[in-house]
């Protein structure tokens, strides 16, 4: 399972690259806002360029900021030209429930790599996969695209077992129907318990905020053991 860092914080990304646990990066308008990015699209573009320089060859997801299909397509074309391996995040529907699958299919046809985001159930996931697959039908080179299933948000609404089931059944469906270029990203991870539990669903990747990764390494017993070994090592002198 690949690990994507869910952050636009340069120092945090550098840290997890150095640890060997960064297979890509995901961002969204909320992460940019929390980081104090200003200057609109220009500010986002600069930060994206900085991140891209850290992870050459790895996927970097950047989300559109419009709900209008025509504007989504325009933004996606612009953003995807910023750097190699840019992945365009597009919500599966708008805030009123209108489908964005038409825009997703068109962009895939144009060679834009997409990450269909805010997916909350099995039906949304397989329809997104169908739209992606349809867009790739006539392409000579087929790149991997993504469907982000929001495990944390599903858990809050329907329980953790339901979230597990949605991801696991989507993976089984993709494998059965041989969708080789559509990968599941397990998203909205909240804590180390989520990492452990949802890692067992068969999702291709998990996007994790830095604080959850840091906490996943913590164990009082590990710290206690290291302290004991260091104490005893001093006695050997």
Buried b (16+ CB within 10 A) or exposed e, 180-208: ebbbbbbbbbbebebbebbeebbbbbbbb
- Kindly give the pairing relationship between strand 182-187 and strand 205-208: parallel
Active site residue 89: yes
Whose tokens are 């994507």? That residue is 4
DSSP classification of residue 93:
B
CA angle 29, 32, 35 (to 5 degrees): 150
CA 187 to chain centre: 6
DSSP classification of residue 67:
S
Whose tokens are 């150095």? That residue is 18
- The number of beta carbons lying within 10 Å of the beta carbon of residue 131 is 26
Catalytic residue among 89, 138, 168, 228: 89
Residues carrying an active site annotation = 89
């Amino acid at each position: 399972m690949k690990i994507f860092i869910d952050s636009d914080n340069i120092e945090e990304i550098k840290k997890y690259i150095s640890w060997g646990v960064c297979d890509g990066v995901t961002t969204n308008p909320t992460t940019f806002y929390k980081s104090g990015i200003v200057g609109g699209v220009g500010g986002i573009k600069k930060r994206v360029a900085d991140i891209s320089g850290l992870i050459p060859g790895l996927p970097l997801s950047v989300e559109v900021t419009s709900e209008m299909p025509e504007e989504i397509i325009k933004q996606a074309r612009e953003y995807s030209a910023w750097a190699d391996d840019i992945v365009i995040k597009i919500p599966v529907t708008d805030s009123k429930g209108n489908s964005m699958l038409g825009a997703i299919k068109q962009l895939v046809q144009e060679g834009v790599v997409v990450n269909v985001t805010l997916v909350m159930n099995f039906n949304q996931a397989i329809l997104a996969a169908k739209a992606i697959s349809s867009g790739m039908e006539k392409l000579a080179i087929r790149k991997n695209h993504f469907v982000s299933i929001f495990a944390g948000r599903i858990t809050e609404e329907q329980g953790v077992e339901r979230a597990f089931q949605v991801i696991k059944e989507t993976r089984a469906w993709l494998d059965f129907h041989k969708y080789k270029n559509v990968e599941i990203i397990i998203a909205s991870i909240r804590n180390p318990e989520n990492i452990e539990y949802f890692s067992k669903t068969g999702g291709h990747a998990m996007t994790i905020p830095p604080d959850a990764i840091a906490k996943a390494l913590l164990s009082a017993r590990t710290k206690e053991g290291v302290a004991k070994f260091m104490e005893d090592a001093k006695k050997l002198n």
